[in-house]
């Protein structure tokens, strides 16, 4: 992907001009410049490429979208020498925190860029209409993804209140130079996420523009939407979307080749992943850098908790996601995370995989209760891929749901999902063998969500800070 293309540069100019007022605004000058810049199909293509480039940055999927929720949770522990995002590991983050600021700022920056694409007025030939609509669909889907991520990070989960009426994040869908937005409710944000993603489905084809999983297709949007419905506890729609994806031609990497999931890009199991190449990667600022030891070129700040490692059978192929480090001692010994093995971050970041979709459908079916056998079969597909000798699931009711959550922990660990799973199940964060003073964090604790950055609250009198900050 080309960095610093024409559209992205124009958006960046507008973004930095607006920072003195609010991260949620664009100046009138930048709005005109951006509208004038997007005049044809090539500009749309260049602009959407710029957004993908932005999303791959270290502040977002290049590092912190996975790392911040993971260190807040219980699968990851910090090394004694860690000096990055330690406030999150200790649950003592504050309103001036740089990572919260970078996430908030960068994600609204990308949102502004997507608004420019969605609201552009580009005329194309009849032969190019499908290409234009596909790009507009990508823009809607990416905007939906960004708002879904924002509301997870900066607000309590959907069922925190009975009607999801608690504060979410501001919805900014078009340019308004006078805007000083308040926070929409979580329900309103989810409604917008679903609207954007379903709009995308009406515009996109089943084939991505890149012909691989590094850009969105209609099927990958369905995969993302199945996750949204799951978090909303809309079980019927979660099952429907997951089934469509499962029937779309993807296939799980088999047991013998499981390691290729992480070493290779665009495997048969990958539905959407963020491209990380030698020319445009985040380098040592990627996820791998925080897990790989200093001796191997990383920082070695974070390690797998003994809790999660102890849950695997010794013959489980996923034990290959860990590597023994003889230099670790005591409570830190002996494993390091090896899911992200390239220290310079050249491996693509997997956003959604087929394994997760099977687990989404398993959970939805278990919650609906009319296809328990189907739920058990979906769960066993993932369990037996990892451990072919595993005994078939016979659990029902709450035991089946617990088994699915356990499998999600085993399969999706270090992919930024554990915290959200605990929160939506209203579970406390419990850390054992921890060297931190924070070994127990209650389900409803204020620090389970990020603070609205002080740079935003200082200039926007209408935006409400999260409790506890």
pLDDT at 343: 85
Alpha-carbon span 256 to 405, nearest angstrom: 24
Per-residue pLDDT at 129 exceeds 60: yes
Instruction: Tell me the percentage of the chain whose pLDDT exceeds 90.
Output: 81
Q: Is the pLDDT of residue 1 over 80?
A: no
Residue 221 belongs to what H/E stretch?
helix 218-232
Please report the pLDDT score of residue 34 as a whole number.
62
Got the DSSP string for 5-21? -HHHHHHHHHHHHHTTT
Residue 443 has pLDDT above 50, yes or no: yes
Q: How confident is the model at residue 13 (pLDDT cuts 50, 70, 90)?
A: very low
Pull the structure tokens for residue 392: 């078939």
Instruction: Write down the pLDDT at residue 3.
Output: 32
385 pLDDT higher than 60: yes
pLDDT band of 182, cuts 50, 70, 90: very high
pLDDT at 9 over 50: no
Whether residue 80 has pLDDT greater than 70: yes
Residues 6+ apart with CB under 8 A from 69: 152, 153, 416, 417, 418, 419, 420
Residue ranges per domain, the chain?
6-278+347-439
* Domain boundaries 6-278+347-439, corresponding CATH code: 1.25.40.390
Q: What is the mean pLDDT of the chain?
A: 90
Question: What are the angstrom distances between the C-alpha of 70 and each of 64, 65, 386, 422, 458?
Answer: 9, 9, 22, 11, 29
pLDDT at 371 exceeding the cut of 80 = yes
Question: What's residue 10's pLDDT?
Answer: 35
Q: Indicate if the pLDDT at residue 448 is higher than 90.
A: yes
Once rounded to an integer, what is the mean pLDDT over residues 427-450? Answer: 89
Q: What pLDDT does residue 333 have?
A: 84
Structural contact between residues 113 and 51, judged by C-beta atoms closer than 8 angstroms = yes
Q: Residue 5's pLDDT is what?
A: 35
Rounded to an integer, the average pLDDT of 3-11 is: 35
The 3-class SS string of 379-395 reads: HHHHHHHHCCCCCCCCC
Indicate the DSSP class of residue 449.
Answer: S
Terminal alpha carbon distance of the chain = 39
pLDDT above 50 (res 111): yes
User: Is residue 366 predicted with pLDDT exceeding 90?
Assistant: yes
pLDDT digits (tens, 9 = 90+) for 234-271: 999 999 999 999 999 999 999 999 999 998 999 999 99
Mean pLDDT of 354-360: 99
Residue 21 confidence (pLDDT): 44
pLDDT score recorded for residue 277: 79
Q: What is the pLDDT of residues 58-77, one digit of tens each?
A: 999 999 999 999 999 999 99
In this prediction, residue 434 carries a pLDDT of: 75
Q: What is the pLDDT of residues 266-292, one digit of tens each?
A: 999 999 999 987 776 677 788 999 999
User: Angle between the 64-72 and 98-118 helix axes, to the nearest 10 degrees?
Assistant: 140
Query: What does the pLDDT average to over 35-43?
Result: 84
Quickly count: other Cβ atoms within 10 Å of residue 257's Cβ. Answer: 15
pLDDT digits (tens, 9 = 90+) for 325-334: 998 988 788 9
Both tokens assigned to 431: 């850390």
Q: Is the peptide bond before 135 cis (omega within 30 degrees of 0)?
A: no
Q: Can you give the pLDDT at residue 176?
A: 78
Higher pLDDT, 34 or 457: 457
How much is the average pLDDT of 201-230?
96
CA-based radius of gyration for the chain: 22
pLDDT tens-place string over residues 397-434: 999 999 999 999 999 999 999 999 999 999 999 998 77
- Helix, strand, coil percentages, rounded to 5, for the chain: 50, 5, 45
- Of the two residues 30 and 160, the one the predictor is more confident about is 160
């Amino acid at each position: 992907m080309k960095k610093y293309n024409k559209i992205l540069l124009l958006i960046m100019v507008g973004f930095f001009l607006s920072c003195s007022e609010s991260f949620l605004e664009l100046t009138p000058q930048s709005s005109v410049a951006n509208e004038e810049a997007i005049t044809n199909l090539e500009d749309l293509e260049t602009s959407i490429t710029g957004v993908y480039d932005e999303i791959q940055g270290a502040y977002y999927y290049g590092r912190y979208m996975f790392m911040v929720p993971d260190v807040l949770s219980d699968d990851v522990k910090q090394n004694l020498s860690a000096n990055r995002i330690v406030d999150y590991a200790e649950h003592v983050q504050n309103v001036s925190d740089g990572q919260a600021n970078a996430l908030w700022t960068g994600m609204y920056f990308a949102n502004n860029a997507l608004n420019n694409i969605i609201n552009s007025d580009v005329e194309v030939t009849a032969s190019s209409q499908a290409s234009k609509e596909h790009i507009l669909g990508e823009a809607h889907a990416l905007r939906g993804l960004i708002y879904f991520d924002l509301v997870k990070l900066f607000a309590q989960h959907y069922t925190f209140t009975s009607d999801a009426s608690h504060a979410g994040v501001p919805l900014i869908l078009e340019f308004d130079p006078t805007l000083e937005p308040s926070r929409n409710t979580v329900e309103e944000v989810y409604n917008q996420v679903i609207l954007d993603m379903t709009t995308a489905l009406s515009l996109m084809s089943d084939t991505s523009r890149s012909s691989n999983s590094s850009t969105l297709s209609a099927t990958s949007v369905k995969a993302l939407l199945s996750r949204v419905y799951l978090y909303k506890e809309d079980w019927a729609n979660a099952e429907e979307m997951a089934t469509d994806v499962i029937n779309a031609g993807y296939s799980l990497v088999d047991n013998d080749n499981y390691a290729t999931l992480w070493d290779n890009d665009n495997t048969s199991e990958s539905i959407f992943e963020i491209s990380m190449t030698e020319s445009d990667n985040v380098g040592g600022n990627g996820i791998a850098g925080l897990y790989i030891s200093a001796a191997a070129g990383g920082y070695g700040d974070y390690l797998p908790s003994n809790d999660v490692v102890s849950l695997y059978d010794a013959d489980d192929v996923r034990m290959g996601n860990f590597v023994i480090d003889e230099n670790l001692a005591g409570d830190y010994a002996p494993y390091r995370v090896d899911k992200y093995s390239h220290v310079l971050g050249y491996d693509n970041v997997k956003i959604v995989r087929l394994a997760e979709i099977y687990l989404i459908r398993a959970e939805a079916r278990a919650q609906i209760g009319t296809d328990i056998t189907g739920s058990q079969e979906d769960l066993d597909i993932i369990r037996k891929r990892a451990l072919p000798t595993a005994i078939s699931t016979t659990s029902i009711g709450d035991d089946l749901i617990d088994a699915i959550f356990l499998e999600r922990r085993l399969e999706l660990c270090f992919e930024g999902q554990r915290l959200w799973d605990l929160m939506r199940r209203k579970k406390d964060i419990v850390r054992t063998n921890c060297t931190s003073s924070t070994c127990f964090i209650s389900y409803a604790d204020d620090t389970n969500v990020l603070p609205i950055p002080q740079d935003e609250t200082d200039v926007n009198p209408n935006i409400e800070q999260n409790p506890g900050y």
